[in-house]
Structure 1
Amino acid sequence: MDAQQPSAPPCAPPPNPRGITHMRSRPTSHYTVVGNHLAQHGQLSLVAIGLAVHIQSVKSGTVVTIKTLADRFPEGETRIASALRELEHHGYLSRTRERLPNGRVITQAVSYDVPRHAAKALPDPRTAPRPRRSPTVPESGASVPKPPSPPEPPPAPVRPRAPEPNQPPAPPKPPRAPLPEPEVHDLKAHRRATTLLASLHGDDPRLLLAERDVRRLAPAVAAWFERGAAPESVRNILTANLPTEPLHHPAAFLTHRLTALLPAPTPQSPPPSVASSPAAARPHRAFQTSCEGCDRAFRTPQPGGRCRDCRTDLQGAA
């Protein structure tokens, strides 16, 4: 019973009982090259790895958003959004928001086949210096003669520059019109002008002025008040029909309107002393029905008397 049985066949080990067997083939079309740094990433989830492979396989210009990916795959928007954030964190994806000229906001996505920090460290093949090839040395040890360098081309002849025609100098720009100033300094009007300028940003946020601009423009607004413009009228003129593009210099814009749209001065009324003087008033002349000399009707400042033709004092003077 203790003798060994050499005729019993040994047990064969099972072929690769736990590992996977690859049946590889080399694709010739419709394939995407993915690095093992992504396929075997130790910190990315399986959803993020599969999503990165899908994004790298689509053509440039394909719309890749959370909604389009949720319509394409069974995963919901929450898992897809989480996977996209993972890819952004590890440098495989970047998303930036851009505003179009029509005001619409879009998201621009860029996919990286290697992480962004690794892509910056790699040399640019367009600017990297090419390695120099060593001259071929024959087996006998004789050096290969260097080919002669091509002769340098002769320098191009310098053509004389044609004289420029006499052009008239550009006319100087007209000086800017100065800001209007009030003729009489009124502290109360100056305060109202300062309050109006400091509150213009309530009508439009782009009209927010600095303190020095409010002090510089306040006398001009006071000049408008002096010419009979009401505060609400000045506010409406300064804030009406504003341009749609951004106002980079609101103080310059208000300076132009305060100067170009300045109302005309109101006509001054005569002094009260001149208007109420007796000489300026037309004398009252009573109407007489008959002259004492010729029975003709006439006007006279006093009742009774004679007309002009019958007055002896006028005839004697003539």
Structure 2
Amino acid sequence: MDTPQNTALTRALTELPGPLPARGVIHIVIPHTDRFTVVGNHLAQHAGLSTTAVGLAVRIQSLPQGTEIGIKALAARLSEGEKLIAAALRELEAHGYLRRARTRLTNGRVVTRTVFCNQPTALLRPRVVAQRPAPPKIPPPVQDAAPETPGPEAAAAPQAPALPDVQREEEHAPQDIAPFVPLVPPPTAPKPPRPPLPQPGELTPELERTATALLSDLRRHAPQFTLSENDIRQLTPAVAAWLERDAHPDTIRHALTNDPPRLLRHPAKLLKHRLTVLLPPPLPGADDLAAPARPRIAVTPFQTCDGCERAFRAPTPGHCRDCRNAPAPAQAAA
């Protein structure tokens, strides 16, 4: 069974024009004559969509109008489960390829209407409504100045046909539909700059030696974190910044290698991200942890009255309030 297929494939390769590449994929393009769907590279090579979402978008794009593409309907027709299909539909909706809206029918039933756009970025460009061409102007017939009454030849000449009412037709033309705006900016939108790697206040030889040894030792605990010498050289200052903030090497190792992705293709990029976003704050000093001093409340001292020898509060010695308000002896005698 395999021999005819391999022979046909080999013959097709010999018929390709030009030199073939030494490595990589070689395309044998046979034009389609029926049952085909045009898919743009913006979808087939979309960097933000998963392979499942891209395949589901191609499947939806190939379906005829009116086909049910709900989660249960797609799960009954595909080998993927409902959770995987729902996640792929959310990806397509987030990138503008899909829009789902709930609509109430005239009988009161609420249905979900799904709209799929094969090229959402084109909807962001201004749309130009085609103008109806103006009708051709027909020059008026040339009349002779001598005879005022038409002759028999003029009476027999055919009249110009009546022009259609173009303005009336333009008034009843359908209005332009509002564009379908995706929920995310176009791929050409500028991305925010990434934060720089942490840097220590002073990269001492001891910090550099400890950070280099910690990064080189990661592969003993997690083989997928095998780094090159260039990666270790770039990540050493960031690890030194962690050590400078009194982070224990075991704590740093756990923060960098804990729960890695299932398919880790670029371990240095993951470490660079975690070293930046998980950087702990500096440890507070002893003065920072001390309880704040309570404000001292000024207390008025006790004094002994010079007249009645009673105790009273006053900033300076003297008489109490009663002695100060008592009448003088001369006034009492009078």
Taking structure 1 as the reference length, what is the TM-score of the superposition?
Answer: 0.37
- The structure whose residues are more often helix, as a share, is 2
Taking structure 2 as the reference length, what is the TM-score of the superposition?
Answer: 0.35
Higher relative contact order (CA 8 A, sep 6+): 2
